[in-house]
Chain A
Amino acid sequence: MVFGMIKLFNVYKNFGPKNPAIVDLSLNIEKGEFVFITGPSGAGKTTLLKIIFCSERPTSGNALVNGININRIKEKQLAFLRRKIGVVFQDFKLLPNRTVFNNVSLCLEISGVQYPIIRKKVHQTLRQLGLSKKERYYPPQLSGGEQQRVAIARAIINNPSILLADEPTGNLDPEITIEIMALLEEIHQRGTTVLVATHSQELLKDTEKKIVTLNKGRIVK
């Protein structure tokens, strides 16, 4: 039986009375799926990811993520759910005053993992992403592509069930874009459910993955 990893039922999200971001959206994403969320700017892609990530709560409707109803989630439960969801932000959201190593180790530190294990896992992940030589660098010392890879390393270090990526290649040149997409594909191959929000038609060309197209907060395709 296939397990519904993300289920949304008639979800609405309004930012003010005349500003609907998501309108009557129902969606079912199975475990291990790779889904592209696409649409023009303001279509509701980021809001949808934020709802899945519990950074925004639906105005109405229900959303189940990893079997948890996020409308009724408590603060502590929310923290634990977020540890199962890796997120790659368009602006990376790295801590500029912490080294690459410390940015990536953060997710393990919050789970109380012992330092020798943290060291081993961070080294392994950074090596996998080609960042071994950069672990003592600070994010401002890295290129955009390298920062994005650090953000991916941080998102996957906990072996999350779900990986959300919001415009992961938005600011990157074509070569780095191919590299980042190959990484996301590799993570997907390990069984992680991957959702990528993008407005780039280039990325969707020739893909066989599931594509959800949004416009003005509604699924149009």
Chain B
Amino acid sequence: MKTSFIKYFFRQALTNISDNRTAHLLGVGTIAIAFLIFNSFILAYVNINHWADEMGKSLTMTIYFKGQPQEIEVEELKSELINIQGVTINKFVSKEEAIRSLAKELGDKEGFLKGLNENPLPASLEIVFLKADREDPLPYNIKKRLEKMDIVDEVHYSEEWAGKIEAIMGAIKLIGSVLGGLLFLATLFIITNTIKLTVFARENEIEILRLVGATNVFIKAPFLIEGSIQGLLGGLLALIMLLAGYVTVMIRADFKIGFASLDIVFISPHIAVFLLLMSMIIGLLGSSIALGRFFKA
């Protein structure tokens, strides 16, 4: 295509946007809100996936003992575990250490613990599985074996969290897909109607362009660019709002599961580019539908 055409199409598209500023601003705002909701789901999904991956990287298992175990019993267990390939011992926490650690966590509210007649916290041993993945049956088998031991009360391992997280991810995927589909349709509807308004406002101009010999492609191209720009701006605004929200939340909040802090990540540049492209494609599609109806009429 000739560069003079491309220049003309962009100049016309920008003129159209400038002439219908209010309609376009409203359109961009509404698209941005729709995309913000959708992007929030993407962000939640990305983070939960990230946490699940992080947990998978260093699978930890905590063995809680019944009462206070004998040192020899703990040492025996440690040496048994250390002989299993891929397992390392992280630390043994005695009942006393456990209550001291809890008191430290409670800070000012430490006084609550003073009313207790005896230390309710169990002694524990924490082990780590290096390079374990979620499909590896080893941690589960070890857990089953440990639970049968007399000195062991309970065994928890982070994979159980990962399992729960996978269930949440599944739910988010489902809600995100349904909502994403609805938002896609809503965004398409908004863009179609905004472009339709500008097309009808320029009906006279289109008629004159036809009379002087303009092809349909020549007439349609600026409107298609206009829709794409509108979609892109809406998508960009949604990303900026999401980033602003993310920064605000990161400054003010400290997310925890139990006592472990959670690392919240923003969507990757690849996903951001994908979302922008998607918003542009929706814009293009919306204006193409609007023009299709007009040119048919």
Contact = CB atoms under 8 A, between A and B. Distances in A.
Nearest to A113: B4
A82 interface: yes
B9 to A, nearest CB: 10
Given A95-B205, A97-B19, A106 B4 contact: no
Nearest to A97: B19
Interface residues of A, number: 24
Interface string B200-211: 000011011111
Contact of A107 (B2, B4, B210, B213): B213
A82 B213 contact: yes
B216 interface: yes
Contact of B214 (A79, A93, A115, A154): A79
* Prevailing SS type, chain B contact patch: helix
Contact of A109 (B8, B208, B210): B8
B4 A110 contact: no
Nearest to B1: A112
B253 interface: no
Nearest to B214: A110
Interface string B206-233: 0111111111101000000000000000
Contacts of A53: 211
Contact of A112 (B2, B205, B208, B210): B2
Contacts of B211: 53, 55, 82, 87, 93
Given A95-B205, A97-B19, A80 B213 contact: yes
B265 to A, nearest CB: 48
A76 B4 contact: no
A110 to B, nearest CB: 4
Nearest to B7: A115
A180 B198 CA distance: 35
Contact of B4 (A83, A87, A115): A115
A110 B5 CA distance: 8
B215 A109 contact: no
A110 B208 contact: no
Interface string A111-125: 111110000000000
Given A97-B19, A115-B4, A110 B209 contact: yes
Contacts of B209: 106, 110
A114 B4 contact: yes
A173 interface: no
**Which of A81, A112, A115 lies at the interface centre, i.e. has the most chain B CB atoms within 10 A of its CB?**
A112
Interface in B174-220: 204-205, 207-216, 218
Given A94-B208, A106-B212, 20 more contacts: A75-B215, A75-B216, A79-B213, A80-B213, A82-B211, A82-B213, A87-B211, A87-B212, A93-B208, A93-B211, A95-B205, A95-B208, A106-B209, A107-B213, A109-B8, A110-B209, A110-B212, A110-B215, A112-B2, A115-B7
Interface of A: 53, 55, 75-76, 79-83, 87, 93-95, 97, 106-107, 109-115, 154
17 contacts: A53-B211, A75-B215, A75-B216, A81-B213, A82-B211, A87-B212, A93-B211, A95-B204, A95-B208, A97-B19, A106-B208, A109-B4, A110-B209, A110-B214, A110-B215, A111-B213, A112-B5
Q: Which 5 A-B pairs have the closest CB atoms?
A: A82-B213, A83-B213, A112-B2, A110-B214, A79-B215
